[in-house]
Structure 1
């Protein structure tokens, strides 16, 4: 057996060259992430938008007030970001130079625009922040540690506090603010798409509780589309204290582990992936207590990732990377359909339906 371990199948020349290129790509992908972070910090997407949607390299240099000596370096950064789909490039018919324009990806990074697409600027800044990068760099050491359950994430193990915890501001107040802005942006992106593509799940409802609904952005959009639905937002007191008291929705300060306000439906939008299976069962059990039987319209509405390759390799990879983010920064996990089914059955639910119309995410209706 030892002799076999000392030998390995020799790849062909073509395989070896491809493996070398793949090795470079996988080892250096972090530079693509840091390039995106740099573009957001420099406000390149917002600048291109303000320049009318198209900008030359000289336009960007002037608008960003960058030293002229940095122009060739900016060109190299933009070339990588074009290749990765962050920006697009056209040839200027007059000068022959390059003109950069926004893509759907960079459009959702434009800051200061009021529309249904909430800027994802802070999501990028949060997940590429040094605290998260350091936690990921410590993965090998974390795997070797024999930690008592519940096992802390690499982030918590390294920094002494979880993300989105009361202790996080004490660790780094600026990072805590960016992380919370990023979470809000991540949660609120695509609300209008949900209402357009999956609006049927809200028809016939008279009342709904949005658990961990933050400042009520989702609930207010829901009430605007369906004025007859009485919406309640449940969140921690520190969140509710800052929520707008506009009378559109009802705000309740509390903890979904202990009690959930009664309503016909309870919504958990991008909530359960932050929690372990045991904690999810506790949350779902409380939600089940808050709703009427299925024949009276009672249901849980979950908006979250359902991991699976059916949407193609790019969406599948995005889902798996989001699961790695959960592993590095939280005690939660992104789940497959089988994982979700086990949670529902353990919490006492009888059936569920998955609506796959939200890209990498799904809507799951769960029935008591």
Structure 2
């Protein structure tokens, strides 16, 4: 019989077994914890990656927006390049030269026609590139069959041709495009901020030149003539559309007064298109002094604030926007007096802008708002919204009106 194991040895052995077992359990527990830890760590890491990606995406979007904002700012601060390039093209008679060429005109041909130094041809190219981009010229393929050119030059080239916009720059159709690009009308912009803060003068134009635009024009015939030519060019475009697209407007009209009609471009167009209408063109004495009428067209010297000849219709194109509300009410009341008689009640036909800054075509609205700022620096008038027009009509004694869009402007028929 084997002797029994000492008590302390047994206890030690049991302790070892318990310790090993405990270690196994601890290891198992730790392994489980590590598994859980690794599992959640992976989830947390994925989550952090998502947050980082979103943050980077948002940062990228903000950077993109910042660059877009910078481009938007640079575009508008350099808008003058568009205007001045157009002015340069007109001063060089580029539209006239290309039109006279009769076919697509290559850049080298334009350089030759302008008789400019070859060293400046690149500058001309860059000028034309901008004007092509802005839609004032377009490029067409041409093939030069000049037998004197070397064979390698007998290839297809691109040449400049006019667009509808540049055709309006031809001398026979010159509009407002360049009338306001000279120093006379640019100077008021330079004093605008000072004038807004309390500078002298009723308008920035007066602050810049010491007198209002109308008095300035009387003392500077060159500026007055440029303005009148611009008005005539604009009227030529408008009248051609008016007498073809708005014929119904003249039904029942036997007499018409074109108030502030200048040299009679619109009045003449109406008289020719509707021989049964007796047309009168009312303007200041020095404007109509040399104008010659015809069988159904007569020029009348007068003042629209004092009185307007009686007629079935009174026509005002781009007149009321030059005046403040108080003066417009005076003019409209004179118009109402002219069309209301015992025998017949007529109407007033207005061609002017109806500002729609909340809807409509973005380019038209931008132009309307730009023209409003042009008025703000030069006269005491403004471009008006429909609500502002309606207020004027009602306060001057009219009862109803009808608005028909005409490009960026509108035809407004107003009834007593």
Fold similarity call, TM over 0.5: yes
Deviation by residue 1:242-272 (Cα, 9 ceiling, x = unmatched)? 2114343122211000100011111111111
Shift of 1:224: 1.2
Provide the residue aligned with 1:280 in structure 2. 328
Shift of 1:87: 1.1
Provide the residue aligned with 2:165 in structure 1. 105
Provide the residue aligned with 1:343 in structure 2. 392
CA contact (8 A) 2:228 2:262 kept: no
CA contact (8 A) 2:256 2:313 kept: yes
> Alpha carbon RMSD of aligned pairs, Å?
2.1
Helix, strand or coil at the partner of 1:219 = helix
User: Which residues of structure 1 form unaligned runs of 5+?
Assistant: 1-9, 113-117
Provide the residue aligned with 1:68 in structure 2. 118
Deviation by residue 1:164-185 (Cα, 9 ceiling, x = unmatched)? x244353x44333222222222
2:143 pairs with 1:143: no
Q: Structure 2 vs 1, CA of residues 245 and 290 (structure 1 numbering), >3 Å: closer, same or farther? A: same
CA contact (8 A) 1:187 1:270 kept: no
1:180 to 209, 223, 228: 228
CA distance in structure 2 between the partners assigned to 1:233 and 1:119 by the alignment: 21
Q: Structure 2 vs 1, CA of residues 353 and 28 (structure 1 numbering), >3 Å: closer, same or farther? A: same
Helix, strand or coil at the partner of 1:222 = helix
- Structure with greater helix share of residues: 2
Helix, strand or coil at the partner of 1:55 = coil
Provide the residue aligned with 1:301 in structure 2. 349
The alignment of Structure 1 onto Structure 2 pairs a total of residues equal to 347
Deviation by residue 1:130-168 (Cα, 9 ceiling, x = unmatched)? 121111122111110166xxx7221122112222x2443
2:174 pairs with 1:119: yes
2:182 pairs with 1:129: yes
CA contact (8 A) 1:125 1:178 kept: no
Shift of 1:294: 11
Structure 1 residues 1-368: aligned runs within 5 Å: 12-92=62-142, 95=155, 97-112=157-172, 118-120=173-175, 123-145=176-198, 152-163=202-213, 165-170=214-219, 172-292=220-340, 296-309=344-357, 310-356=359-405, 358-368=406-416
Provide the residue aligned with 1:5 in structure 2. none
Helix, strand or coil at the partner of 2:257 = strand
CA distance in structure 2 between the partners assigned to 1:44 and 1:294 by the alignment: 56
CA distance in structure 2 between the partners assigned to 1:248 and 1:230 by the alignment: 5
CA contact (8 A) 1:161 1:168 kept: no
Structure with bigger gyration radius? 2
CA distance in structure 1 between the partners assigned to 2:263 and 2:397 by the alignment: 30
User: Which residues of structure 2 form unaligned runs of 5+?
Assistant: 1-58, 144-153
CA distance in structure 2 between the partners assigned to 1:41 and 1:101 by the alignment: 18
Give TM-score scaled by structure 2 length.
0.79
Helix, strand or coil at the partner of 1:339 = helix
CA distance in structure 1 between the partners assigned to 2:404 and 2:333 by the alignment: 22
**Structure 1 stretch displaced more, 262-271 or 241-250:** 241-250
Shift of 1:46: 1.2
CA distance in structure 2 between the partners assigned to 1:192 and 1:173 by the alignment: 28
Q: Structure 2 vs 1, CA of residues 167 and 130 (structure 1 numbering), >3 Å: closer, same or farther? A: closer
Give TM-score scaled by structure 1 length.
0.89
Shift of 1:97: 4.0
Higher RCO by CA contacts (8 Å cutoff, separation 6 or greater): 1
Shift of 1:62: 1.3
